[in-house]
Amino acid sequence: EMELTNQTPVFKFFLVGLTDDPNLQPLIFSLFLSIYLITILGNLLIMLTVSSDSHLHTPMYFFLSNLSFTDICISTTTIPKMLVNIQTQDQRISYTGCVSQISFVLIFGGLENCLLAVMAYDRYVAICHPLTYTVIMNLLHCVSLVLLSLIMTTVNALPHSLMVLRLSFCTDLEISHFFCELAQVIKLSCSDTLINFLLMNLGTSIFAGISLCGIIFSYTQIISSILRIPSVSGRYKAFSTCGSHFLVVSLFYGTGLGVYLSSAVKGSSVKNIVSSMMYIVIPQMLNPFIYSLRNKEMRESLTHLLTGKPSLL
């Protein structure tokens, strides 16, 4: 659908979603509503637990709170619009809303990428330089790292969003997805998209590559330091402090790799949607469970918050 307002084209895209089968719509609505509520409640509990327990006022949990907030923002950017579309049986999304969704997905997705690298750096300092950890990871430094991550992700997302604005669109405005994904929107354009694809692939590779290299370097140093610990119990204790983070990193980059491979290889739109869902929806829901179930401090503080029983910390 295209309207003309003061000779300026105003587009409305159509989000196809997972399926157009009306019999499956209630099931999909219930599934995504459950995922969204679990994501919001789980991450809010993490943030509330960290803020209410003074024992958790450390750099590691400060970064975890920011990660939980980012997970909430990513989910809120994509899932509610899909739920509204299913409920109203109206798959349209405005041009402005689509570009805004692209921008926020890039910003918060990039911010999660940076925060995981920052958390790896935090574990590197804690394990490899324990005597100077409190000096290096002071409050000002921690806040600066989060702000720097936000600035970097915003700067990275801005060119992609601006380049979308220069694209022209023809009659085919159906997006084979449940949200406005950058690659899918670019494919709909009837203008030259070479620069957009080059920017998307090059920018994403560099931005994600730097963070991933930082994480790999941090864990290389961490593993090297752990292996030098003489006692088995000491090694286990040291690795347990970063085990949850390692699982989250594996989940985030593993699903991200799946999205990249599915977009590179031609396949059905359903497979591309499922792979993107595994990247943009599932990790955000599972992160609170990973940190609460595998982390003893978080588990005890969460129990204290929910039951009122005194913490053993």
| Residue corresponding to tokens 């960290």 | 50
Residues 16-307: name the CATH superfamily. Rhodopsin 7-helix transmembrane proteins (1.20.1070.10)
Rounded distance, CA 51 to CA 62, Å?
Answer: 9
* Cα 259–chain centre separation: 13
**Residue of higher predicted confidence among 5 and 300:** 300
- Beta carbons of 289 and 86 less than 8 angstroms apart: no
* Most confident of the ranges 7-16, 173-182, 304-313: 173-182
Domain regions of the chain by residue span: 16-307
| Whether residue 133 has pLDDT greater than 80 | yes
pLDDT at 7: 39
Rounded distance, CA 204 to CA 202, Å?
Answer: 6
Tens digit of each residue's pLDDT (9 = 90 or more) over 155-190: 999 999 999 988 888 776 888 788 888 888 888 888
Q: What predicted TM-score, i.e. pTM, was given to this entire model?
A: 0.87
- Beta carbons of 313 and 55 less than 8 angstroms apart: yes
Rounded distance, CA 135 to CA 265, Å?
Answer: 48
Tens digit of each residue's pLDDT (9 = 90 or more) over 227-236: 888 888 888 8
Task: Please tell me what DSSP assigns to residue 133.
Answer: H
pLDDT at 152: 94
Which range is least confidently modeled, 65-69, 82-86, 121-125, 171-175?
A: 171-175
Which range is least confidently modeled, 48-57, 161-170, 274-283?
A: 274-283
At 116, the pLDDT band (50, 70, 90 cuts) reads very high
| Whether residue 5 has pLDDT greater than 50 | no
What is each CA distance from 205 to 40, 210, 252, 256, in whole angstroms?
A: 29, 8, 15, 11
- Beta carbons of 280 and 78 less than 8 angstroms apart: yes
Q: Tell me what the pLDDT averaged over the chain comes to.
A: 84
Alpha helices, DSSP H only, in the chain?
A: 25-52, 59-88, 95-128, 133-136, 139-165, 182-188, 194-227, 232-264, 269-280, 282-294, 296-307
Tens digit of each residue's pLDDT (9 = 90 or more) over 204-245: 888 888 999 999 999 999 999 888 888 888 888 878 778 888
- Beta carbons of 83 and 29 less than 8 angstroms apart: yes
What is each CA distance from 199 to 1, 184, 228, 260, 279, in whole angstroms?
A: 28, 15, 43, 15, 21
Token duo for residue 254: 């593993």
* Most confident of the ranges 6-10, 16-20, 289-293, 303-307: 289-293
At 123, the pLDDT band (50, 70, 90 cuts) reads very high
List of residues 6+ apart from 4 with CB closer than 8 A: 10
What are the CB-based long-range contacts (under 8 Å, 24+) for 143-146?
145/63, 145/118, 145/121, 146/63, 146/66, 146/115, 146/118
Rounded distance, CA 13 to CA 173, Å?
Answer: 5
pLDDT at 287: 87
What is the pLDDT averaged over residues 34-56? Answer: 91
At 4, the pLDDT band (50, 70, 90 cuts) reads very low
| Whether residue 118 has pLDDT greater than 90 | yes
- Residue 126 exposed, middle or buried by CB count within 10 Å (0-12, 13-18, 19+): buried
| Whether residue 127 has pLDDT greater than 80 | yes
Rounded distance, CA 74 to CA 238, Å?
Answer: 31
Which range is least confidently modeled, 44-48, 95-99, 189-193?
A: 189-193
Q: How many residues does the chain have?
A: 313
Rounded distance, CA 232 to CA 235, Å?
Answer: 5
